[in-house]
Amino acid sequence: MITATTRTQVAVIGAGPAGLTTANLLRQRGVDCVVLEAQSREFIEQRPRAGFLEEWAVRELERRGLAGRLLQQAGQHGAFEFRFAARRHTVRYAELTGHHHFVYPQQELVTDLVAAYADGSAGDIRFGVRDVRLHDLTGDSPSVTYTDPHTGQSHRVECAYIAGCDGARGVSRRHIPAHESVFASHDYGIGWLALLVEAPPSADGVVFGIHPRGFAAHMARTPQITRFYLQCPPGDDPANWSHERVWQELHTRLAVPGAPITEGRIVERQVLDMHNYVVEPMSYGRLHLAGDSAHLVAPIGAKGMNLALHDAFLLSAALTAQLRHGDGARLAGYSADCLRRVWQYQEFSQWFADVLHGATHADPFHARMAEARLQRLLSSPAAATAFCELYIGKL
Ligand code: RFL
């Protein structure tokens, strides 16, 4: 039984980068919204994930007053290294494109966005909600129901639109009937052991190690914390990766003479199965998906959080145009506008994945193709520029 009802213009489901950015921008533009988040505030403010923000995304956050702490604290990267056959090959993408990455842990961005929305502008955000369900998506009066974690009572949020920003494992996407959308997916058949380590970075930027034993990567996060990845079988048990085994593989696959890898305490290990998907269209009736709920890009090219922000910029502008000015054109074009960038990033990630994992490909033809691509990238400034434009998200 519903015991309380709230009326708002937009119900935002999920308080990740997509949902929080959407909510902040709606509020700034005078559109009323309620954010529903399954986890606690403390949990989302500490959940480590992404770290690389493309410059265009940061400039857009800055324009909206949402990048204050980020601009003070984030590191900047404009080059990365490939390491293979015991040699280093640096790609200076800032020189080739005029743009760089900002390195800022996702949980710090989430912390800033929650503070701006909940504390800075007294936005309505409800944490720990259970049993979230969406109703009447194709009518004029959709709603979302949920169970309050404290009282156990059912609440209804009545709204004009729903922003489904609840990530890869959320419920929004599942409310779109299968015959109303295409779910396009690709499984690489590869796993990555994702590690967070209490150690200073071992290199200035990102290092991609291409090795017959498997791919490995190093990504600086903060002066004290570094992320590493090791290619592993999909579905592998992180418990198979002891401290000794992790460091032995990282030294073997990543270190080259004169450029050692600094060890530290491993504070997080999880296995990610590399797969991608896109839900097309991203809209169904009054529901509009944004971020990982609509599309997943394996973290090969560090694209997911950037796409989540891109969707949020477009969705908040489209909803504002509709709700404040009665102009529905942007909302009608929202899915197509997002998907242009999404498919470019998917194609980039697929191409890059083939290069990074080529050395372990069972098929020698594929392995040699990957080598040929890498050689071209490292020998042709035109090929390098084309690659780097996608790497930094300059479309
Ligand atoms: P999120 O961040 O998953 O947020 C969704 C939120 O919805 C909540 N939720 C619900 N709330 C209410 N009701 C429900 N039924 C709900 N179900 C879920 C969740 O608790 C959560 O708070 O999705 P969003 O906002 O779309 O953001 C996407 C990004 O988080 C994701 O794409 C990136 O983390 C991917 N990614 C990277 N992206 C980059 O751009 N650069 C990187 O360097 C990068 N590194 C990474 C990554 C992802 C990783 N993992 C863990 C998959 C590194 C890793 C290891």
- Taking the centre of ligand 1 as the mean of its atom positions, its distance from the CA of residue 372, in whole angstroms, is 34
- Taking the centre of ligand 1 as the mean of its atom positions, its distance from the CA of residue 10, in whole angstroms, is 21
How confident is the model over 158-206, as pLDDT tens digits?
999 999 999 999 999 999 999 999 999 999 999 999 999 999 999 988 9
Contact assessment for residue 157 and residue 124, using Cβ atoms and an 8 Å cutoff: no
- In 3D, which of 306, 223, 381, 260 has the Cα closest to residue 55? 306
How confident is the model over 287-339, as pLDDT tens digits?
999 999 999 999 888 999 999 999 999 999 999 999 999 999 999 999 999 99
**For residue 14, what pLDDT is reported?**
98
How confident is the model over 18-31, as pLDDT tens digits?
999 999 999 999 99
**For residue 238, what pLDDT is reported?**
97
- Taking the centre of ligand 1 as the mean of its atom positions, its distance from the CA of residue 199, in whole angstroms, is 24
For ligand 1, atom 36, the nearest C-alpha belongs to 50
**For residue 300, what pLDDT is reported?**
87
Domain segments of the chain: what residues? 2-52+105-184+276-348
**For residue 48, what pLDDT is reported?**
86
For ligand 1, atom 47, the nearest C-alpha belongs to 50
Full-model pTM: 0.96
Which residues does ligand 1 sit against, CB inside 6 Å?
Answer: 13-19, 36-39, 44, 49-52, 106, 129, 132, 165-167, 169-171, 194, 272, 291-292, 299, 302-306, 308
For ligand 1, atom 55, the nearest C-alpha belongs to 49
How confident is the model over 248-268, as pLDDT tens digits?
999 999 989 889 999 999 999
For ligand 1, atom 2, the nearest C-alpha belongs to 16
**For residue 310, what pLDDT is reported?**
98
- Taking the centre of ligand 1 as the mean of its atom positions, its distance from the CA of residue 169, in whole angstroms, is 9
- Taking the centre of ligand 1 as the mean of its atom positions, its distance from the CA of residue 167, in whole angstroms, is 5
How confident is the model over 347-371, as pLDDT tens digits?
999 999 999 999 998 899 999 999 9
CA distances from 328 to 97, 132, 333 (A): 35, 27, 9
Question: Relative to the CA of 303, which ligand 1 atom is closest?
Answer: 40
Residues ≥6 apart with Cβ < 8 Å to 305: 17, 49, 50, 52, 53, 106, 109
Question: Which of 305, 316, 342, 345 is the pocket-test mutation for ligand 1 (most atoms within 8 Å of CB)?
Answer: 305
- Taking the centre of ligand 1 as the mean of its atom positions, its distance from the CA of residue 316, in whole angstroms, is 19
Pick the CATH number of 2-52+105-184+276-348 from 3.50.50.60, 3.40.50.1980, 3.10.20.30, 3.40.50.2000: 3.50.50.60
Long-range contacts of 63-71 (CB under 8 A, 24+ apart): 64/24, 64/25, 64/28, 65/28, 65/116, 66/21, 66/24, 66/112, 66/113, 66/116, 68/112, 69/108, 69/112, 70/102, 70/104, 70/108, 70/109, 70/112
Question: Which of 12, 49, 196, 277 is the pocket-test mutation for ligand 1 (most atoms within 8 Å of CB)?
Answer: 49
- Taking the centre of ligand 1 as the mean of its atom positions, its distance from the CA of residue 379, in whole angstroms, is 36
Work out the mean pLDDT of the chain and round it to a whole number: 96
Whether the predicted pLDDT of 49 surpasses 90: no
- Taking the centre of ligand 1 as the mean of its atom positions, its distance from the CA of residue 103, in whole angstroms, is 17
How does residue 1 score in pLDDT terms, banded at 50, 70 and 90?
confident
Whether the predicted pLDDT of 3 surpasses 90: no
For ligand 1, atom 17, the nearest C-alpha belongs to 170
**For residue 222, what pLDDT is reported?**
85
- Taking the centre of ligand 1 as the mean of its atom positions, its distance from the CA of residue 36, in whole angstroms, is 15
Mean pLDDT of 226-231: 96
How confident is the model over 106-156, as pLDDT tens digits?
999 999 999 999 999 999 999 999 999 999 999 999 999 999 999 999 999
Question: Relative to the CA of 293, which ligand 1 atom is closest?
Answer: 26
